[in-house]
Homo-oligomer: A and B are copies of this chain.
């Protein structure tokens, strides 16, 4: 019996969210909208320079799992924290959101819990500067086969490819999922991340992935083509199912031998902070698929969840997504 609808494996991160202007990004050599990995010294220097922050638990796939729980799904997460205050915050928040989270924190004296300095510009765009800390020290033996076998879909964070230990854990998880007859979903995470691991991602998508989730910049980076359309055609050929998001232009869901499903973005009264838009789209999509609601409804759940999250600060929904989805007739 499945105890979970979806299990996610990713980086355990606490977000430190502050506002800045475009000049601040330029001064610090940051590319707006991207995620950059930074070391302990760089994250310290940037923190010293930035304004006051708000701390909210984050992590891309962790956000997706919380979104699924908020939609009423049964979600679990595997990720590594340290025995420090940010680790306590991360563990508390994800469990309090109703997500199963049993990965033990690293031994005392480890690197600290990962954090991301997220700079939000007045247009609502977020630029992430992530110090992974202990997060990639997720080891092979922490990929709990029983937990993975307990879920219909295993969702993997592309960011994990950035560190060898985490990548090994990622591959182990995929192998367990496939042999248990589960679906494997993958987020490409970030265009720079795709550039770092293009060939490995392509192999993995062709061989193993059932559900590929990417935004426009990521899918173009993957295929190194000039247009979204060209990238989408290649993604359709390579994957069983690909959901490609395009910010305010909505999303496209492609599957082998079917006409594309083209979905508009859900309306947003005011864009406050785009942090987590992709993560929450993935939550709606995967929840819809796991519940067998059909791809059109799954995509609309994704659009709705993304719209909710960009109307607030941070990537963890402050309202019940299930209530919002029921109000829109997307959930019974």
Binding site for B on A (CB under 8 A): 16, 18-19, 47-48, 50-57, 66, 84-86, 89, 92-94, 96-97, 112, 313-314, 316, 318
Contact = CB atoms under 8 A, between A and B. Distances in A.
Given A16-B89, A52-B93, 4 more contacts: A52-B92, A52-B96, A53-B89, A313-B313
B56 A54 contact: yes
A310 to B, nearest CB: 17
11 contacts: A16-B89, A50-B96, A51-B97, A52-B57, A52-B93, A52-B97, A52-B316, A53-B92, A53-B93, A54-B54, A54-B314
A316 B54 CA distance: 10
Question: What 7 pairs across the A-B complex have the smallest Cβ distances?
Answer: A55-B55, A85-B85, A52-B93, A52-B96, A51-B96, A52-B97, A54-B56
Contacts of A314: 54
Nearest to A89: B55
A16 B86 CA distance: 12
A313 B17 CA distance: 14
Contacts of A18: 96
A92 B48 contact: yes
Copies in the complex: 2
Contacts of A57: 52
Nearest to A55: B55
A12 to B, nearest CB: 14
Nearest to A52: B93
A51 B112 CA distance: 24
A89 B94 CA distance: 21
Contacts of A56: 54-55
B54 A55 contact: yes
Contacts of A316: 52
A183 to B, nearest CB: 28
Nearest to A50: B96
A311 to B, nearest CB: 14
A66 B94 CA distance: 31
Contact of A47 (B55, B92, B318): B92
Contact of A85 (B48, B86, B97): B86
Nearest to A18: B96
A66 B53 CA distance: 13
A283 B228 CA distance: 52
A112 B92 contact: no
A17 to B, nearest CB: 9
Contacts of A93: 52-53
A145 B157 CA distance: 54
A70 to B, nearest CB: 10
A57 B51 CA distance: 12
Contacts of A89: 16, 53, 55
A48 B55 CA distance: 18
Contacts of A96: 18, 50-53
Nearest to A113: B85
